[in-house]
């Protein structure tokens, strides 16, 4: 039977495979766009350079953009020593640097972690989570987010968000180009098949990328729950937090389709299941915690 550490190692290997797969999809999407514009290798190289610059910028600045989009503000120890001490204690237990703490003024109960590694990480909690959870529940949620940091989930989710966003953007350009100016290019002859192939790739690649992102996001939530229990030694706290969110659900106003996979629980209330869900069902998470 696989151990807990085997699961973490498998998660890291799968993350690497995910990044490789999404990178291939990015270049496939760039190739599709180059085909549609009849630009050949020159178009592919130009698109690849632009994509690499965009990806690097987003990787180093993406967490700051996410914090700004979420309306998160820093929380000082003077303002909330209770919450800051809780974060510092769990960081010590996880043997990672204490992440910066932020708060979103929203009465929904939720949280997320972001950053590129444990040295450059932040945990964001909503006002509702901080005020409505008792200590054991709050500790369970913070430990869950701390696990995302310690397991390097934040790095891979940041890269995934960047890659999927890039693929979707390229696909959008290709589709708009096809409907607005595709007929003119088709009339030149010789490139019709390539244009159709490019259009098919432009449609398929964003869908595949989104499905991969959702699948990885769901599996990471289960692993983060297990790691949180390892940190707190008290699964009932996390179970109670999930139950309270389920029974008193409110969406997070600032959450979007792109940022939804980062949150502790589904922040937009779509209640989707299966391939298109960003989180495992809360009932399944509670059931799994019952085995600890």
Active-site annotation, residues: 145
Structure tokens at 249: 């659900």
Number of neighbouring beta carbons within 10 Å of residue 54:
15
Tokens standing for 174? 């290709």
SS (H, E, C) the chain: CCCHHHHHHHHHHHHHHHHHHHHHHHHHHHHHHHHHCCCHHHHHHHHHHHHHHHHHHHHHHHHHHHHHHCCCEECCCCCCHHHHHHHHHHHHHHCCCCCEEEEECCCCCCEEEEEEECCEEEEEEEHHHHHHCCHHHHHHHHHHHHHHHHCCHHHHHHHHHHHHHHHHHHHHHHHHHHHHHHHHHHCCCCCHHHHHHHHHHHHHHHHHHHHHHHHHHHHHHHHHHHHHHHHHCCHHHHHHHHHHHHHCCCCCCCCCCCCHHHECCCCCCCCCCHHHCCCCCHHHHHHHHCCC
d(CA 66, CA 72): 9
Burial 199-216 (b: 16+ CB within 10 A, else e): bebbeebbeebbebbbeb
Whole-angstrom distance, CA of residue 34 vs CA of residue 197: 11
């Amino acid at each position: 039977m696989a151990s807990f550490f085997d699961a973490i190692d498998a998660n890291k290997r799968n993350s690497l495979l995910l990044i490789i797969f999404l990178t291939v999809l990015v270049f496939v999407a760039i190739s599709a766009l180059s085909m549609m514009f009849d630009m050949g290798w020159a178009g592919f190289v130009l698109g690849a350079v632009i994509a690499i610059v965009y990806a690097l910028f987003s990787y180093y600045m993406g967490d700051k953009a996410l914090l700004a989009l979420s309306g998160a503000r820093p929380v000082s120890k003077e303002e909330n020593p209770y919450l800051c001490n809780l974060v510092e204690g769990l960081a010590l237990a996880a043997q990672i640097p204490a992440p910066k703490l932020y708060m979103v003024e929203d009465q929904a109960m939720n949280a997320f972690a972001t950053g590129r590694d444990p040295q450059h990480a932040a945990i964001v909690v909503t006002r509702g989570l901080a005020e409505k959870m008792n200590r054991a529940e709050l500790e369970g949620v913070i430990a869950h987010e701390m696990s995302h940091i310690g397991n390097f989930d934040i790095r891979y989710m940041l890269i995934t968000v960047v890659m999927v966003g890039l693929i979707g953007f390229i696909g959008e350009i290709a589709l708009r180009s096809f409907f607005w100016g595709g007929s003119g290019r088709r009339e030149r002859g010789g490139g019709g098949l390539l244009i159709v192939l490019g259009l098919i790739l432009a449609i398929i690649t964003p869908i595949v990328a989104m499905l991969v992102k959702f699948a990885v996001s769901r599996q990471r939530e289960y692993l983060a729950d297990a790691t949180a229990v390892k940190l707190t030694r008290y699964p009932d706290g996390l179970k109670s937090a999930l139950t309270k969110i389920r029974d008193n659900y409110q969406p997070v106003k600032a959450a979007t389709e792109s940022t939804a996979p980062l949150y502790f629980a589904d922040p937009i209330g779509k209640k989707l299941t299966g391939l298109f869900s960003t989180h495992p069902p809360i009932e399944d998470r509670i059931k799994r915690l019952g085995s600890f």
